[in-house]
């Protein structure tokens, strides 16, 4: 029996999200070594990640529209080339401003080219196992802390930070450029699904602009924003927080890896549960657990405690992330999936941008990360409340959607 090519798309998507987003998030590993070597403040270096999230979100919207029109292959190929270029140029930066421009803008724009187009491509290939397929594509985000981050930590321990970033940039080219050529559009019959009339987004003439003004999209974007604002700070600063608690640097990085491993499990678990129970109830439950776990970091200081909280936190935030794409697909169909999910990702990137900058400012001001975790807990509860406002999914056609 010939293997279904949709699973190749899933595998390529997982590789691209792992390497692409993992390379960007490796800045968390470089934070302290760069500060020590250059004298740049943690807030200044962290601001590069804030720029990453802002530019990645705006770029994701543009990349999503381009993937709807031209297909995902050309988008991810361009992003792969740009990612390596950004990392190589950042490794040669001679000032903080130059580093923020190259790492915060070029790498951010490149990062936006992977998640949205590849998830949109995967949803077009699958109907029966859509939640699981999307979860596996995004599983690359969970694998990244177990692969790219330890690799970056080893490089920094062996070489200087500049050489380490240069190596990661070249490795991104080697891995991602060939993989981009494996991306294909689905056959027309697959893209249409078993009921082509029901697969269209809303009414036959419904535009992307009308979809972006509808209630489901507004709730989706606001929930996505608050969710990312909840976990971005803890994800980025927990390594530095653990080091400040007296843990060795390599042990602190393993906490990040535990989060990633748990996130991988969470994506698979929530993907399966989303197919069986529906994406909305699984999302609400996951957001509530995420809020509790983020707040619990306030109370931990030992490695075993960090591992326990990281496992729950990673399971929750990793599990909920693919569900936004599933909800976008269910409410709006495949025709404008890249545009709609790209717009939601752009809004979510504003939430992701808050954590690194706020955490750096909190530490530089108070000498502690305590308020970061308290704030994350409160925002997480808000995300849970917003998610409860999702309207019911139509049982047949989506034609009942109207602009809000």
Residues contacting 301, CB < 8 A, separation 6+: 245, 246
Position 402 in a domain: no
Position 404 in a domain: no
Judge if pTM exceeds 0.75.
no
160: buried, middle or exposed (CB in 10 Å: 19+, 13-18, 0-12)?
middle
| CATH number for the domain harbouring residue 338 | 1.20.1250.20
Position 227 in a domain: yes
Position 188 in a domain: no
Closest CA to 399 of 210, 122, 131: 210
Q: Which domain holds residue 150?
A: 6-183+202-387
How do the pLDDT tens digits run along the chain, 404 residues long? Answer: 345 888 899 999 999 989 988 888 888 788 888 888 888 887 788 888 878 878 887 888 888 888 888 888 999 999 999 999 999 999 898 898 899 899 989 999 998 899 888 988 888 888 777 778 887 887 777 677 678 888 888 998 888 889 999 999 999 999 999 999 999 887 764 554 444 433 444 444 567 788 888 888 999 999 999 999 999 888 888 888 888 888 887 788 788 778 878 888 888 888 888 878 888 999 999 999 999 999 999 999 899 899 999 999 999 998 898 889 888 888 887 778 788 888 888 888 788 878 877 888 888 888 888 899 999 999 999 999 999 998 887 653 444 444 44
Position 378 in a domain: yes
Position 259 in a domain: yes
Number of structural domains in the chain: 1
**How far is it, in rounded angstroms, from Cα 214 to Cα 217?**
6
351 neighbors 223 (Cβ within 8 angstroms): no
Position 196 in a domain: no
Position 326 in a domain: yes
Q: Which long-range contacts link 373-378 to residues 24+ away (Cβ below 8 Å)?
A: 373/233, 373/234, 373/294, 373/295, 373/297, 373/298, 374/295, 374/298, 375/233, 376/229, 376/230, 376/231, 376/233, 376/234, 376/291, 376/294, 376/295, 376/297, 377/230, 377/291, 377/292, 377/294, 377/295, 377/298
């Amino acid at each position: 029996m010939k293997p279904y090519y949709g699973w190749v798309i899933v595998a390529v998507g997982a590789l691209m999200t792992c390497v692409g987003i993992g390379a960007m998030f490796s800045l968390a590993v470089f934070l302290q070594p760069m500060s020590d070597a250059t004298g740049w403040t943690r807030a200044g270096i962290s601001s590069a990640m804030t720029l990453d999230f802002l530019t990645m979100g705006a770029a994701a919207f543009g990349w999503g529209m381009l993937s709807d029109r031209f297909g995902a292959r050309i988008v991810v190929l361009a992003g792969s080339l740009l990612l390596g270029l950004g990392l190589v140029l950042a490794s040669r930066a001679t000032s903080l401003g130059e580093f923020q421009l190259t790492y915060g803008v070029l790498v951010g724009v490149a990062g936006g080219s992977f998640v949205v187009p590849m998830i949109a491509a995967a949803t077009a290939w699958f109907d029966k196992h859509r939640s699981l397929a999307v979860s596996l594509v995004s599983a690359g985000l969970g694998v990244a802390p177990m692969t790219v981050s330890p690799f970056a930590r080893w490089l920094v321990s062996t070489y200087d930070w500049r050489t380490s970033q240069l190596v990661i940039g070249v490795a991104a080219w080697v891995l991602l450029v060939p993989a981009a050529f494996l991306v294909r559009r689905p056959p027309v019959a697959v893209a249409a699904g078993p009921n082509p009339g029901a697969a269209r987004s809303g009414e036959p003439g419904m535009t992307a602009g009308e979809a972006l003004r509808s209630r489901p999209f507004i709730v989706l974007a606001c929930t996505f924003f608050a969710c990312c604002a909840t976990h971005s700070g803890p994800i980025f600063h927990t390594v530095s927080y653990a080091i400040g608690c007296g843990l060795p640097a390599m042990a602190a990085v393993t906490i990040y890896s535990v989060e990633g491993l748990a996130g991988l499990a969470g994506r698979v678990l929530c993907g399966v549960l989303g197919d069986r129970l529906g994406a909305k109830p699984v999302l609400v439950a996951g957001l509530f657990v995420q809020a509790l776990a983020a707040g619990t970091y306030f109370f931990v200081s030992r490695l075993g405690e960090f591992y326990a909280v990281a496992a729950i936190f990673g399971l929750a935030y990793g599990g909920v992330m693919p569900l936004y794409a599933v909800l976008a697909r269910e409410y709006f169909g495949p025709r404008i999936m890249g545009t709609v999910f790209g717009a939601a990702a752009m809004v979510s990137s504003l939430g992701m941008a808050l954590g690194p900058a706020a955490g750096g400012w909190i530490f530089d001001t108070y000498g502690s990360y305590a308020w970061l975790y308290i704030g994350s807990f409160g925002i997480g509860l808000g995300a849970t409340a917003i998610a409860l406002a999702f309207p019911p999914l139509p049982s047949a056609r989506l034609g009942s959607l109207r602009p809000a």
